[in-house]
Protein backbone atom coordinates (compact mmCIF):
# COMPACT_ATOMS: atom_id res chain seq x y z
CA UNK A 1 0.00 0.00 0.00
CA UNK A 2 1.48 3.36 -1.05
CA UNK A 3 1.15 6.25 1.40
CA UNK A 4 1.64 10.01 1.00
CA UNK A 5 4.96 11.08 -0.49
CA UNK A 6 5.44 7.79 -2.32
CA UNK A 7 6.14 5.75 0.81
CA UNK A 8 5.06 2.12 1.08
CA UNK A 9 4.36 0.40 4.41
CA UNK A 10 5.75 -3.12 4.79
CA UNK A 11 4.26 -5.93 6.85
CA UNK A 12 6.33 -4.96 9.93
CA UNK A 13 5.55 -1.27 9.78
CA UNK A 14 8.86 -0.37 8.14
CA UNK A 15 8.38 2.41 5.60
CA UNK A 16 10.32 2.43 2.37
CA UNK A 17 10.00 4.79 -0.59
CA UNK A 18 8.49 3.09 -3.59
CA UNK A 19 11.26 4.54 -5.75
CA UNK A 20 14.03 3.51 -3.36
CA UNK A 21 17.19 2.97 -5.45
CA UNK A 22 18.32 -0.07 -3.47
CA UNK A 23 15.92 -2.75 -4.63
CA UNK A 24 17.85 -5.46 -2.80
CA UNK A 25 17.41 -3.67 0.52
CA UNK A 26 13.70 -3.27 -0.15
CA UNK A 27 13.36 -6.95 -0.97
CA UNK A 28 15.21 -7.92 2.19
CA UNK A 29 13.03 -5.77 4.44
CA UNK A 30 9.84 -7.04 2.80
CA UNK A 31 10.99 -10.67 2.57
CA UNK A 32 8.24 -12.99 3.81
CA UNK A 33 9.68 -16.53 3.92
CA UNK A 34 7.39 -19.52 3.80
CA UNK A 35 7.65 -22.86 5.55
CA UNK A 36 9.05 -24.30 2.35
CA UNK A 37 11.80 -21.70 2.03
CA UNK A 38 12.57 -22.00 5.76
CA UNK A 39 13.13 -25.73 5.31
CA UNK A 40 15.24 -25.08 2.21
CA UNK A 41 17.57 -22.82 4.18
CA UNK A 42 17.74 -25.37 6.98
CA UNK A 43 18.67 -28.12 4.55
CA UNK A 44 21.31 -25.85 3.03
CA UNK A 45 22.78 -25.45 6.51
CA UNK A 46 22.88 -29.23 6.93
CA UNK A 47 24.78 -29.53 3.64
CA UNK A 48 27.35 -26.79 4.30
CA UNK A 49 28.06 -27.92 7.87
CA UNK A 50 28.50 -31.52 6.71
CA UNK A 51 30.61 -30.27 3.84
CA UNK A 52 33.05 -28.31 5.97
CA UNK A 53 33.48 -31.34 8.24
CA UNK A 54 34.56 -33.33 5.19
CA UNK A 55 36.83 -30.60 3.80
CA UNK A 56 38.41 -30.33 7.24
CA UNK A 57 39.33 -34.00 6.92
CA UNK A 58 40.71 -33.15 3.49
CA UNK A 59 43.04 -30.63 5.13
CA UNK A 60 44.28 -33.36 7.45
CA UNK A 61 44.84 -36.14 4.90
CA UNK A 62 46.73 -33.79 2.56
CA UNK A 63 49.11 -32.82 5.35
CA UNK A 64 47.89 -29.23 5.25
CA UNK A 65 46.86 -28.88 8.88
CA UNK A 66 49.51 -26.24 9.53
CA UNK A 67 49.46 -24.81 6.01
CA UNK A 68 48.50 -21.57 7.72
CA UNK A 69 50.72 -21.78 10.82
CA UNK A 70 49.05 -18.91 12.69
CA UNK A 71 45.48 -17.84 13.53
CA UNK A 72 43.51 -15.73 12.66
CA UNK A 73 46.22 -14.69 10.20
CA UNK A 74 47.44 -17.27 7.70
CA UNK A 75 51.05 -16.24 8.31
CA UNK A 76 52.43 -14.00 11.05
CA UNK A 77 52.27 -10.97 8.75
CA UNK A 78 49.38 -11.73 6.37
CA UNK A 79 45.75 -12.80 6.49
CA UNK A 80 46.04 -14.42 3.07
CA UNK A 81 48.55 -17.01 1.79
CA UNK A 82 51.95 -15.59 0.84
CA UNK A 83 55.12 -17.42 -0.09
CA UNK A 84 56.81 -18.85 2.99
CA UNK A 85 60.11 -20.75 2.97
CA UNK A 86 58.95 -23.35 5.50
CA UNK A 87 55.41 -24.03 4.21
CA UNK A 88 54.30 -25.41 0.86
CA UNK A 89 52.06 -22.99 -1.03
CA UNK A 90 49.77 -25.89 -1.94
CA UNK A 91 49.30 -26.81 1.73
CA UNK A 92 48.76 -23.17 2.54
CA UNK A 93 46.05 -22.81 -0.11
CA UNK A 94 44.27 -25.98 1.06
CA UNK A 95 44.16 -24.79 4.67
CA UNK A 96 43.23 -21.24 3.72
CA UNK A 97 40.47 -22.51 1.43
CA UNK A 98 38.95 -24.44 4.30
CA UNK A 99 39.04 -21.30 6.45
CA UNK A 100 37.22 -19.37 3.72
CA UNK A 101 34.44 -21.98 3.71
CA UNK A 102 33.66 -20.88 7.28
CA UNK A 103 32.26 -17.65 5.86
CA UNK A 104 29.90 -19.62 3.60
CA UNK A 105 28.68 -21.67 6.56
CA UNK A 106 28.23 -18.48 8.58
CA UNK A 107 26.31 -16.80 5.75
CA UNK A 108 23.89 -19.73 5.49
CA UNK A 109 23.47 -19.72 9.27
CA UNK A 110 22.65 -15.99 9.26
CA UNK A 111 20.17 -16.59 6.43
CA UNK A 112 18.46 -19.22 8.59
CA UNK A 113 18.21 -16.72 11.46
CA UNK A 114 16.72 -14.08 9.17
CA UNK A 115 14.26 -16.59 7.72
CA UNK A 116 13.17 -17.73 11.19
CA UNK A 117 12.85 -14.10 12.33
CA UNK A 118 10.81 -13.06 9.30
CA UNK A 119 8.60 -16.16 9.24
CA UNK A 120 5.00 -15.29 10.01
CA UNK A 121 3.82 -16.27 12.51
CA UNK A 122 7.23 -16.20 14.20
CA UNK A 123 8.08 -19.41 16.04
CA UNK A 124 10.42 -19.28 19.02
CA UNK A 125 11.46 -22.91 18.57
CA UNK A 126 12.76 -22.25 15.06
CA UNK A 127 14.44 -18.99 16.00
CA UNK A 128 16.29 -20.67 18.89
CA UNK A 129 17.52 -23.49 16.65
CA UNK A 130 18.54 -21.03 13.96
CA UNK A 131 20.52 -18.90 16.41
CA UNK A 132 22.59 -21.95 17.34
CA UNK A 133 24.12 -21.91 13.87
CA UNK A 134 26.02 -18.59 13.77
CA UNK A 135 26.92 -19.06 17.44
CA UNK A 136 28.26 -22.54 16.66
CA UNK A 137 30.20 -21.33 13.63
CA UNK A 138 31.89 -18.63 15.69
CA UNK A 139 32.73 -21.20 18.37
CA UNK A 140 34.18 -23.44 15.67
CA UNK A 141 36.32 -20.60 14.35
CA UNK A 142 37.73 -19.94 17.82
CA UNK A 143 38.31 -23.65 18.35
CA UNK A 144 40.15 -23.73 15.02
CA UNK A 145 42.57 -21.21 16.47
CA UNK A 146 43.12 -23.59 19.40
CA UNK A 147 43.78 -26.45 16.96
CA UNK A 148 46.53 -24.40 15.29
CA UNK A 149 48.03 -23.14 18.56
CA UNK A 150 48.24 -26.73 19.92
CA UNK A 151 50.01 -27.90 16.76
CA UNK A 152 47.15 -30.21 15.73
CA UNK A 153 46.81 -32.00 19.04
CA UNK A 154 44.59 -35.01 18.22
CA UNK A 155 42.13 -34.11 20.99
CA UNK A 156 41.53 -30.60 19.65
CA UNK A 157 41.33 -31.91 16.07
CA UNK A 158 38.81 -34.57 17.09
CA UNK A 159 36.69 -32.07 19.00
CA UNK A 160 36.73 -29.84 15.90
CA UNK A 161 34.96 -32.64 14.02
CA UNK A 162 32.55 -33.46 16.85
CA UNK A 163 31.49 -29.81 17.15
CA UNK A 164 30.63 -29.92 13.46
CA UNK A 165 28.58 -33.05 14.12
CA UNK A 166 26.70 -31.18 16.84
CA UNK A 167 26.00 -28.31 14.45
CA UNK A 168 24.71 -30.75 11.84
CA UNK A 169 22.29 -32.10 14.46
CA UNK A 170 21.02 -28.59 15.25
CA UNK A 171 20.59 -27.87 11.54
CA UNK A 172 18.69 -31.11 10.98
CA UNK A 173 16.39 -30.38 13.91
CA UNK A 174 15.67 -26.96 12.42
CA UNK A 175 14.79 -28.66 9.14
CA UNK A 176 12.54 -31.21 10.85
CA UNK A 177 10.83 -28.73 13.18
CA UNK A 178 10.16 -26.27 10.35
CA UNK A 179 7.88 -28.87 8.77
CA UNK A 180 5.94 -29.48 11.98
CA UNK A 181 3.84 -27.51 14.39
CA UNK A 182 4.77 -26.43 17.90
CA UNK A 183 2.48 -28.79 19.77
CA UNK A 184 3.74 -31.60 22.03
CA UNK A 185 5.65 -34.37 20.27
CA UNK A 186 3.49 -37.39 19.46
CA UNK A 187 5.06 -40.74 18.66
CA UNK A 188 3.94 -42.48 15.47
CA UNK A 189 5.21 -45.88 16.58
CA UNK A 190 5.20 -47.95 19.75
CA UNK A 191 6.96 -46.33 22.69
CA UNK A 192 9.65 -49.03 22.82
CA UNK A 193 10.40 -48.62 19.11
CA UNK A 194 11.00 -44.94 19.65
CA UNK A 195 13.31 -45.75 22.54
CA UNK A 196 15.17 -48.12 20.25
CA UNK A 197 15.61 -45.23 17.83
CA UNK A 198 17.19 -43.09 20.54
CA UNK A 199 19.48 -45.99 21.52
CA UNK A 200 20.52 -46.28 17.90
CA UNK A 201 21.32 -42.56 17.70
CA UNK A 202 23.43 -42.81 20.86
CA UNK A 203 25.29 -45.78 19.38
CA UNK A 204 26.00 -43.85 16.18
CA UNK A 205 27.40 -40.97 18.22
CA UNK A 206 29.59 -43.41 20.15
CA UNK A 207 30.78 -44.79 16.81
CA UNK A 208 31.81 -41.30 15.72
CA UNK A 209 33.68 -40.69 18.98
CA UNK A 210 35.61 -43.95 18.64
CA UNK A 211 36.26 -43.08 15.01
CA UNK A 212 37.85 -39.83 16.18
CA UNK A 213 40.10 -41.95 18.39
CA UNK A 214 41.12 -44.04 15.38
CA UNK A 215 41.86 -40.89 13.36
CA UNK A 216 43.91 -39.44 16.22
CA UNK A 217 45.97 -42.62 16.42
CA UNK A 218 46.35 -43.35 12.71
CA UNK A 219 48.88 -42.10 10.17
CA UNK A 220 47.10 -38.98 8.84
CA UNK A 221 47.93 -36.37 11.45
CA UNK A 222 47.74 -33.29 9.23
CA UNK A 223 51.39 -32.36 9.66
CA UNK A 224 54.72 -34.00 10.50
CA UNK A 225 54.91 -32.01 13.74
CA UNK A 226 51.48 -33.12 15.01
CA UNK A 227 51.27 -35.48 17.98
CA UNK A 228 49.25 -38.71 18.08
CA UNK A 229 47.24 -40.55 20.74
CA UNK A 230 49.44 -43.08 22.54
CA UNK A 231 47.13 -45.99 21.72
CA UNK A 232 47.42 -49.29 19.91
CA UNK A 233 45.96 -48.62 16.46
CA UNK A 234 44.93 -52.26 15.99
CA UNK A 235 42.99 -52.28 19.27
CA UNK A 236 41.29 -48.95 18.55
CA UNK A 237 40.35 -50.07 15.02
CA UNK A 238 38.84 -53.30 16.38
CA UNK A 239 36.84 -51.34 18.96
CA UNK A 240 35.59 -49.10 16.16
CA UNK A 241 34.51 -52.15 14.17
CA UNK A 242 32.76 -53.67 17.22
CA UNK A 243 30.74 -50.50 17.81
CA UNK A 244 29.89 -50.48 14.09
CA UNK A 245 28.48 -54.01 14.43
CA UNK A 246 26.33 -52.81 17.34
CA UNK A 247 25.03 -49.93 15.23
CA UNK A 248 24.17 -52.20 12.30
CA UNK A 249 22.50 -54.69 14.65
CA UNK A 250 20.35 -51.98 16.23
CA UNK A 251 19.43 -50.72 12.77
CA UNK A 252 18.33 -54.22 11.71
CA UNK A 253 16.28 -54.52 14.91
CA UNK A 254 14.63 -51.14 14.35
CA UNK A 255 13.87 -51.91 10.72
CA UNK A 256 12.31 -55.25 11.68
CA UNK A 257 10.25 -53.64 14.47
CA UNK A 258 8.98 -50.95 12.12
CA UNK A 259 8.01 -53.57 9.55
CA UNK A 260 6.12 -55.92 11.88
CA UNK A 261 4.33 -53.01 13.59
CA UNK A 262 3.25 -51.57 10.22
CA UNK A 263 4.85 -48.23 11.10
CA UNK A 264 4.34 -45.23 8.82
CA UNK A 265 6.19 -45.45 5.54
CA UNK A 266 8.51 -42.43 6.17
CA UNK A 267 9.90 -44.14 9.27
CA UNK A 268 10.53 -47.42 7.44
CA UNK A 269 12.18 -45.64 4.54
CA UNK A 270 14.42 -43.65 6.88
CA UNK A 271 15.58 -46.82 8.65
CA UNK A 272 16.22 -48.58 5.34
CA UNK A 273 18.24 -45.61 4.07
CA UNK A 274 20.31 -45.64 7.26
CA UNK A 275 21.07 -49.34 6.81
CA UNK A 276 22.16 -48.79 3.21
CA UNK A 277 24.52 -45.96 4.22
CA UNK A 278 25.95 -48.07 7.05
CA UNK A 279 26.67 -51.00 4.74
CA UNK A 280 28.36 -48.72 2.23
CA UNK A 281 30.40 -47.18 5.02
CA UNK A 282 31.42 -50.64 6.19
CA UNK A 283 32.72 -51.52 2.72
CA UNK A 284 34.77 -48.32 2.65
CA UNK A 285 36.11 -48.93 6.16
CA UNK A 286 37.33 -52.47 5.49
CA UNK A 287 38.76 -51.49 2.12
CA UNK A 288 40.82 -48.67 3.59
CA UNK A 289 42.01 -50.98 6.36
CA UNK A 290 43.30 -53.64 3.98
CA UNK A 291 44.84 -51.00 1.67
CA UNK A 292 46.84 -49.44 4.53
CA UNK A 293 44.57 -46.40 4.96
CA UNK A 294 45.03 -44.41 1.73
CA UNK A 295 44.20 -40.72 2.01
CA UNK A 296 41.41 -40.75 -0.59
CA UNK A 297 39.51 -43.51 1.21
CA UNK A 298 39.95 -41.76 4.57
CA UNK A 299 38.27 -38.71 3.10
CA UNK A 300 35.46 -40.87 1.70
CA UNK A 301 35.09 -42.56 5.07
CA UNK A 302 34.66 -39.20 6.82
CA UNK A 303 31.96 -38.32 4.29
CA UNK A 304 30.28 -41.65 5.02
CA UNK A 305 30.45 -41.00 8.77
CA UNK A 306 28.70 -37.67 8.31
CA UNK A 307 26.01 -39.27 6.13
CA UNK A 308 25.44 -42.03 8.72
CA UNK A 309 24.91 -39.34 11.38
CA UNK A 310 22.43 -37.42 9.22
CA UNK A 311 20.57 -40.62 8.34
CA UNK A 312 20.35 -41.57 12.04
CA UNK A 313 18.95 -38.12 12.86
CA UNK A 314 16.39 -38.58 10.10
CA UNK A 315 15.33 -41.91 11.63
CA UNK A 316 14.77 -40.37 15.08
CA UNK A 317 12.73 -37.43 13.76
CA UNK A 318 10.63 -39.79 11.63
CA UNK A 319 9.44 -41.62 14.75
CA UNK A 320 7.44 -38.66 16.07
CA UNK A 321 5.40 -35.74 14.85
CA UNK A 322 3.88 -32.58 16.25
CA UNK A 323 0.49 -30.96 15.84
CA UNK A 324 0.23 -28.79 12.70
CA UNK A 325 0.61 -25.04 12.73
CA UNK A 326 -2.46 -22.86 12.94
CA UNK A 327 -1.51 -21.10 9.69
CA UNK A 328 -1.29 -22.99 6.40
CA UNK A 329 2.12 -24.58 5.95
CA UNK A 330 3.26 -22.75 2.83
CA UNK A 331 1.42 -19.44 3.06
CA UNK A 332 2.25 -16.39 5.12
CA UNK A 333 -0.27 -13.69 6.07
CA UNK A 334 1.28 -11.52 3.38
CA UNK A 335 0.39 -14.09 0.75
CA UNK A 336 -3.11 -14.39 2.10
CA UNK A 337 -3.55 -10.66 1.58
CA UNK A 338 -2.63 -11.04 -2.05
CA UNK A 339 0.95 -9.74 -1.87
CA UNK A 340 3.63 -11.85 -3.53
CA UNK A 341 5.95 -13.72 -1.16
CA UNK A 342 9.56 -14.57 -1.73
CA UNK A 343 10.45 -18.23 -1.89
pTM confidence score: 0.84
Co-location of 192 and 178 in the same domain: no
Cα distance between residue 178 and residue 120, in whole Å: 12
Co-location of 244 and 316 in the same domain: yes
Q: How many domains does the chain have?
A: 2
Instruction: Quote the pLDDT of residue 122.
Output: 87
Per run of 10 residues, the mean pLDDT along the chain (length 343 residues) is 44 49 58 86 96 93 91 90 84 93 96 92 92 94 93 94 96 94 86 95 97 92 89 93 96 96 94 97 92 90 96 96 57 39 35
Co-location of 76 and 117 in the same domain: yes
Instruction: Quote the pLDDT of residue 322.
Output: 84
Instruction: Quote the pLDDT of residue 5.
Output: 44
> Does 338 map to a domain?
no
- State the pairing for strand pair 7-9/320-322: unpaired
Co-location of 210 and 177 in the same domain: no
The residue range of the domain holding 269 is 187-220+231-324
Is the separation of the CB atoms in 231 and 212 below 8 Å?
no
> Does 153 map to a domain?
yes
Instruction: Quote the pLDDT of residue 323.
Output: 75
Instruction: Quote the pLDDT of residue 223.
Output: 87
Co-location of 249 and 286 in the same domain: yes
> Does 40 map to a domain?
yes
Nearest of 3, 10, 65 to residue 341 by alpha carbon: 10
Instruction: Quote the pLDDT of residue 22.
Output: 63
Co-location of 71 and 165 in the same domain: yes
Amino acid sequence: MVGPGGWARTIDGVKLPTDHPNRHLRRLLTWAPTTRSMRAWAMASVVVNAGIAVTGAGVRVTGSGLGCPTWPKCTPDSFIPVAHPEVSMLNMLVEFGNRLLTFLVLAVGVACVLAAFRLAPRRRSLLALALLQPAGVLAQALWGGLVVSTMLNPFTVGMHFLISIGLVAACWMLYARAGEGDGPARRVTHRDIRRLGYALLAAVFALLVVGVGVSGTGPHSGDEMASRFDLDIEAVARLHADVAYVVVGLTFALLFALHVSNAPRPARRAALALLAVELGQGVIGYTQYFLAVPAALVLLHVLGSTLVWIAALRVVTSLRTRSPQAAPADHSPTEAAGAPAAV
